[in-house]
A and B are shown apart, each in its own frame.
Chain A
Amino acid sequence: MNIIVAIKLVPDLVEELSIDADGTALDTTWMRLIINEFDDHAIEQGILLKESNGGQVTVIAPDAEGIDDMLFTAAAKGVDRVIKLTGNFGTTTNNHALGRALAAVIDTMQPDIVLTGVQAHNDLDGPTGPLLAEFIKRPYVGYVAGVKVDGGKAQIRKEYPGGLVADMEVTLPAVLGIQAAEKPPRYVPISKVRQAMKTTTIEEQEIQELTPEGGPTISRMFQPEAAERATMIEGSEDEIASRIVAILKEQGVF
């Protein structure tokens, strides 16, 4: 089975975010990028499918600071082939542009199944998966938390609010938006990643054109000011704990 996983890097939300001088985009100067967590699950699901059904897993990602390390990590986990899209990629490249770039490369690879994270926290023009799916004229299902492949069909588990789950049958080839892999993404020791750096070649595919057509123009980006912010409790652990206990008492908890 030819399994392709499309991933991308996103700003690490643990770090402080700031807005650029124009006030219309995130300031990328000090921004730390990490793998989109749903994409990490998509990689895991891809490897699980290879383990159960055989075949090859390829991970494809647009160029970004730190992407090589991420691709070597994927290789260390068991991904067979890693491809980096090069060209004028930036953090403002929208998902329509990325979807067209991915489609151009993936369509020629004749995949059986394409996996990608169901969404990313910085998507402003929709998640990548359904755009890519339509650009290569394949069906798409998102919020997937479980995939089994048998013959030319995938049995998928789709999540709805409140814990309701739908089992659906999807004719392959198809694109799936992964919410969660069947198992948590595997841990890989740094020694294995170092080994992968020596044995893995990152293939490069140059993307000529990245037009933003299909996404919105942002006129202003800002950090929200809360209408009401929490009253912050300061002090030593003892002092903070007694204040919380006092609040619980006021609320009649005990």
Chain B
Amino acid sequence: MSQDIFVITEHLQGHVSDISYVMLAAARVLSKGSGGKVIAILLGNEAKSLSDNFAADEVFYLDHPKLAEFTPDAYNAVLGGLIGNHSPRAVLFGDTSIGGDLAGKLSARLNLPLISHCLKVYAEGSVLKFTSQICGGKIMAEGDLPEPTVLVMMVPGGYKPEEGQSEQPPKVTAIPVPGLEDLRITLTQYIEPETGDVDISKEPLLIAIGRGIQTEDNIELAQELADAIGGVVCGSRPVVDQGWLQASRLVGKSGKAVKPKIYLAMGISGAPEHAEAITGSNMIIAINMDSTAPIFNIAKYGTTADLFDLVPVLTEQVKAAKNG
């Protein structure tokens, strides 16, 4: 058993994901309370240099051709042994497409408690605590991190990625990798995102629509406003899942992060999966009838007017202002 904090770092196609640095920043907070080290766990193939800017006391590097890119079975096989042998105080995973395939399986396999949707961690003396963000950002839940070992899935937003970076490369220890035979999940290929007609991550004026737009026909309302302003229509997950907008127009966790000058959010609640991708916006203006919608916590201006009444009026006024 140890008081160390493990961070299961994530990378795809040779790029370290920001959540890895967010977790390293959180791990630093926990290690101050536990008195242990921050240990970054890196699985890869000839990928040691990915850890050069990790703000960690030590990196455990596990190299194997079958670990070159993420697959759930190979990662689980390796991490089960590592966590079981070392028994750290806490293991941080991303609440992501990678961490989500690992933490639950390892919790059940190693019989270790698991906490998800974790936004922040704290140390009060040697007692370690967590705050999770649930119900689309409307509810926070707090508690102590169970002892002696706990698995935690972290969402972005609690720490800046820069807080988990360092100019001083950390000490790297190579850890032997067990045999990886009989894997039941293999990577066939990657498919790069469709480029689409526009790149929303580079557009300065975005008219974004969410579930509140209600029907496909209503998208015309947003399009007319976008045409009047000279902006581009994008949307949140429910709108793209319905097939009302192309996948290239998706803003959020599984889509693009955007940083426009103006982000006009219409009928978007601002759940964490969406909010994390728009915090780089210069100004967010939100139209949503639910006054408790989390979007109002990150917007500069907001209104609870009915978008179906407001948007046509707004479009006319924008046209008038441009012509005047």
Contacts and interface: CB of A to CB of B under 8 A. Distances in A.
Interface stretch (A47-55, A128-136, A190-198, A201-209): A128-136
Contacts of A184: 241-243
Contacts of A135: 108
B113 A216 contact: yes
Contacts of B271: 121
A223 B133 CA distance: 10
A171 B139 CA distance: 38
B286 to A, nearest CB: 6
Of listed B142, B145, B238, B317, residue having the most chain A CB within 10 A: B317
A238 interface: yes
Given A163-B250, A165-B193, A224 B297 contact: yes
B247 A163 contact: yes
A165 B59 CA distance: 28
A171 B150 CA distance: 30
A165 B190 contact: yes
B243 A221 contact: no
Contacts, number: 285
Given A142-B100, A164-B192, A134 B109 contact: yes
Nearest to A179: B254
A125 B114 contact: yes
Contact of B108 (A134, A141, A222): A134
A226 B292 CA distance: 11
Nearest to A137: B109
A222 B254 CA distance: 28
A134 to B, nearest CB: 4
B175 interface: no
A242 B107 contact: no
A195 B82 CA distance: 54
Given A121-B134, A124-B117, A170 B261 contact: no
Contact of B135 (A121, A159, A165, A251): A121
B130 A139 contact: no
Interface in B219-260: 229-230, 237-238, 241-243, 247-248, 250, 253-257
A187 to B, nearest CB: 11
Contacts of A43: none
A254 B100 contact: no
A46 interface: no
- Is chain B's binding surface mostly helix, strand, loop or mixed? mixed
Interface string A151-190: 0000101111111111111110010010110011000000
Interface residues of B, number: 103
B140 A221 contact: yes
Contact of A254 (B135, B184, B303, B322): B322
Given A162-B193, A180-B237, A214-B111, 13 more contacts: A16-B292, A119-B100, A121-B135, A126-B103, A127-B100, A133-B105, A139-B185, A216-B143, A224-B137, A224-B138, A231-B301, A237-B309, A251-B282
The 10 A-B pairs at the shortest CB distance, nearest first, are namely A163-B193, A130-B104, A134-B108, A230-B302, A226-B297, A230-B299, A143-B97, A126-B104, A171-B184, A167-B188
22 contacts: A121-B134, A122-B135, A123-B116, A124-B141, A126-B104, A126-B153, A131-B107, A162-B256, A164-B191, A169-B185, A169-B186, A170-B184, A214-B113, A216-B145, A216-B150, A221-B139, A222-B139, A226-B297, A228-B297, A231-B302, A241-B313, A244-B314
Interface of B: 12-13, 17, 69-73, 96-98, 100-109, 111-117, 130, 132-146, 150-151, 153, 184-194, 205, 229-230, 237-238, 241-243, 247-248, 250, 253-257, 261-262, 269, 271, 282-286, 290, 292, 296-297, 299-305, 309-310, 313-314, 316-318, 321-322
